[in-house]
C-alpha cells in the first residue's frame, strides 16, 4: 500500500491515506507520486500538489497527522518539541542542543528491576536535562 499525506498551505499533514499499489504504479511497475496525486485529486477533491508520497527512507518517515512536510529537504517531521531544538535533515528528527546524558549503571539496573523509572526530561527554561524518577513500574 502506498501512503500519501494530505497537506495544507502551511505544509501540515491533515490526514494520511493508503492506496493500493496497483493504482499508483507506472508502466514499469514503480509507485509514482504523480500518478497517486492525480488519483487522489480525482477521488478526494484536493489539489494534486497537496498530496505527498510518504515513502521512507525517501521522506525520512511515514507521515502522521500533525507532522510538517519540509519540501526543501523532502522529509516529514514530527511537531517541534521545544523552541531550542534543531532540525536534523539526515534523521528527520529534532535534536536537543545538548545530548541526553546516559543513565548510571545503578539507574539502569533499577529501571530493569522495575523498582524505579529513571528518565531524563528536557528543561527548556534551563536548557538542560533533568533526571526524574517516575516511580516503580511506570513503563
Residue with cell 500519501: 4
Cα-Cα-Cα-Cα dihedral sign, residues 19, 22, 24, 30: positive
Distance CA 3, CA 78 (A): 17
Q: Are residues 67 and 34 in the same domain?
A: yes
pLDDT digits (tens, 9 = 90+) for 32-45: 999 999 999 999 98
Q: Tell me, what's the pLDDT at 14?
A: 97
In this structure, are residues 118 and 130 in contact, taking their beta carbons and an 8 Å threshold?
no
C-alpha cell at 19: 492506496
Domains: count for the chain? 2
What pLDDT digit, counting tens, does each position of 85-101 carry?
Answer: 999 999 999 999 999 99
CB 8 within 8 A of CB 49: no
- In the listed set 63, 80, 95, which residue is the last one of a domain according to the structure? 95
User: In this structure, are 66 and 108 located in the same domain?
Assistant: no
Q: Which domain holds residue 104?
A: 97-139
Amino acid at each position: 500500500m502506498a501512503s500519501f499525506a494530505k497537506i495544507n498551505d502551511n505544509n501540515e499533514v491533515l490526514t494520511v491515506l493508503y492506496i493500493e499499489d496497483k493504482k499508483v504504479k507506472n508502466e514499469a511497475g514503480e509507485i509514482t507520486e504523480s500518478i497517486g496525486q492525480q488519483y487522489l485529486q480525482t477521488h478526494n477533491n484536493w489539489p494534486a500538489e497537496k498530496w505527498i508520497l510518504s515513502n521512507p527512507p525517501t521522506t525520512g518517515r511515514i507521515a502522521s497527522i500533525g507532522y510538517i512536510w519540509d519540501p526543501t529537504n523532502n522529509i516529514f517531521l514530527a511537531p517541534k518539541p521545544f523552541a531550542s531544538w534543531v532540525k536534523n535533515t539526515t534523521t528527520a528528527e529534532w535534536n536537543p542542543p545538548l545530548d541526553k546524558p546516559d543513565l548510571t549503571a545503578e539507574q539502569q539496573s533499577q529501571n530493569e528491576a522495575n523498582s524505579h523509572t529513571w528518565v531524563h526530561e528536557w528543561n527548556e527554561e534551563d536548557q538542560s536535562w533533568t533526571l526524574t524518577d517516575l516511580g516503580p513500574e511506570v513503563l
